[in-house]
Structure 1
Amino acid sequence: MSYHLAKNIKATLTYYDVLDMPLTSFEIWKHLILQDIEQTGKHGVQSIGDVVKILSSGELDTIIQEHNGFYFLKGRKALVRKRIQAEKISVGKLRRMHRLVRILRFLPYVRMLAATGSLAMKNGTRESDWDMFVVLRSGKIWIGRTLLTGFLHLIGKRRHGRKIQDRACLNYFVTEDNLEIGTKDLFSAHEYRFLIPMYNERLFQKFELKNRWIAEYRPHFSLTAIPHLLMAKDISQRKKVQDFLEKIFDGLHLEVWLASWQGEKIRRNPKTSIEGSLIKADDHSLIFLPHPQGPRVFEKYKERLSV
């Protein structure tokens, strides 16, 4: 057990080193990575006590260091101060995003909103945007995206061009009947384990159930038992307003036309044909990742792990 756990601790710290993120002993346990996915089961799940025991045993002293309760690869002590600063910045950004979400939940067809990316990891910078994971009503993804994007643009909170800081980055939309993440790999397991739900606790629970595959990469993955502090509480007025607006837009029958028009626009966009891009546009998901981070992060992780 000790050998496998030490390897997994090294793998975990190496992976997060790529993301410039030192970890506490609890975080190492919580986000423990299986270096070999075949370990699931016998050598997968460990107690936090086992992790602390390995960290304090000196077994990994030639590889890792500790400072102020954070563990990191040797020579990367500067990451500790950087992480503390990033966390302070991210907390402020998340609070501002939460205030925005409390408004966005009234918009037609919006069913769930969550923070992802570096902000959800609390590893953002002052210049960073707000990566937003959006779930829309089934059968209304095109008009739902149009209304949400248009509203954010009108209030000056949509990321576009060089306008990035503290603006919503809308690159991942799915419908409520399509909650399972299509790309199942180490990076996706990391990305969606850190996801911070801000609206619709019930649908978020369904999202977690649909993505239990994360446990194949993160053996300590478990369903969230307590609503996140940034979860916007639902109110009766919200449903009344949303239902009223949806009746209006349902009557306009714009979904098919928007699907055709926007679909053609997406197909003609040069970013769609970039090698390695992840672009998906159909009635169940709208994903726009011309330069997905996953492959780059994984290559750096494997490279550093082999040193």
Structure 2
Amino acid sequence: MSGGTIIGQLISQSQGYLTLHGREGLAELRRERERESNRLWPLAIHYGRLMAHLPFIRMVAVTGALAMDNVNHRRDIDYLVITQEGRLWLCRAMVILLVRWAANRGIALCPNYFLSENALSLRQRDLYTAHELIQMVPLFGSGTYGRFRRLNRWTEDHLPNARGMDPPKLANIKLSPHGQQLAIESPLRTHIEKMLRSPLGDWLEAWEMNRKVRKLSAVQPPQNGREEAQFSPQWCKGHFDGHAVRALKEYSSRLQRIAGFPV
């Protein structure tokens, strides 16, 4: 990077990272978080594989800080889970049992976004959502992941240079020498799915959805016109911390300071 250019006067390079001048210390922090992330990846893959074995689950992906190898001291593992249409809330109930089982072993799993495969085209189409979608790391269900990306090409309007994770590359780097990207099938899983594709399964799905939506909807009201926590038959978005609202507000504020006028 040439120091004579405008970019060269603003940007420094340290330990393989680019930073603003005067913030070179962030490179070591980033390295430290990358090391912490490397310790979490085996656990994320292990529990992601267990989720992928559950009935009606069609894709499991790591999201949040771990997806960017940028884990801090919290050490929780965020997941996005895509389910078969009409069985999202049953899937969520089974995954929550796994979450509690892991918690008893000191592992913090946070599957905070469940999405039905008939609702893959996202309604929220801002920069934050585009960033979260593109950065996710699919562990299982590469076919569903590919369809998810194709149905959300609007992300290119916000981040035209971002390609996202290439599943074959992930298989070689993260999972194993051969990888496991297909949905996991087993005779037991197939039998349970067949049994629950029935009026009984429909009743259980409706009962679980109504029970949990009442409880979850009382946790936090909408923030600044954007409901980060959203619940329906097609999705369960348990983002209660308001992080997207804060991030977009801060991003807009910084752009305004740079541009000198509202953006």
Name the TM tier (shorter chain): 0.7 to 0.9
**Partner SS for 1:172:** strand
Check conservation: 1:209, 1:223, Cα contact below 8 A: no
From 80, 83, 105, give the equivalent of 1:136.
83
- In structure 1, what is the equivalent of residue 188 of structure 2? 241
Task: Kindly state the Cα deviation for residue 166 of structure 1 after the two structures are TM-superposed.
Answer: 3.9
Whether 2:223 is the aligned partner of 1:262: answer no
- In structure 2, what is the equivalent of residue 221 of structure 1? 162
Greater shift, 271-280 or 89-98, is seen at 271-280
Check conservation: 1:145, 1:173, Cα contact below 8 A: yes
Partners of 1:121 and 1:224 in 2: how far apart?
11
Partners of 1:185 and 1:238 in 2: how far apart?
35
Residues 74 and 298 from structure 1, CA distance in 2 versus in 1: closer, same or farther, beyond 3 angstroms? farther
Task: Kindly state the Cα deviation for residue 295 of structure 1 after the two structures are TM-superposed.
Answer: 2.5
Check conservation: 2:116, 2:234, Cα contact below 8 A: yes
From 122, 125, 150, give the equivalent of 1:209.
150
In structure 1, list runs of 5 or more residues that go unmatched: 1-51, 159-164
In structure 2, list runs of 5 or more residues that go unmatched: 259-263
Task: Kindly state the Cα deviation for residue 154 of structure 1 after the two structures are TM-superposed.
Answer: 2.9
Alignment of 1:26-45 (within 5 A): none
Check conservation: 1:121, 1:194, Cα contact below 8 A: yes
Alignment of 1:171-190 (within 5 A): 171-190=112-131
Residue deviations 1:153-185 (CA, integer Å, cap 9, x gap): 134379xxxxxx741112111011111222111
User: What residue identity is the alignment partner of 2:216?
Assistant: I
Task: Kindly state the Cα deviation for residue 293 of structure 1 after the two structures are TM-superposed.
Answer: 1.8
Whether 2:52 is the aligned partner of 1:105: answer yes
- In structure 2, what is the equivalent of residue 146 of structure 1? 93
Check conservation: 2:81, 2:115, Cα contact below 8 A: yes
**Partner SS for 2:154:** helix
RMSD: 2.6
TM-score normalised by length of structure 2:
0.83
Residue deviations 1:257-287 (CA, integer Å, cap 9, x gap): 22222222233x2324565541211111111
Check conservation: 1:180, 1:210, Cα contact below 8 A: yes
Query: Paired residues, what number?
Result: 247
Partners of 1:179 and 1:118 in 2: how far apart?
22
Partners of 2:184 and 2:12 in 1: how far apart?
52
Task: Kindly state the Cα deviation for residue 125 of structure 1 after the two structures are TM-superposed.
Answer: 1.8
Residue deviations 1:25-66 (CA, integer Å, cap 9, x gap): xxxxxxxxxxxxxxxxxxxxxxxxxxx6xx665212443222
TM-score normalised by length of structure 1:
0.72
Check conservation: 2:59, 2:183, Cα contact below 8 A: no
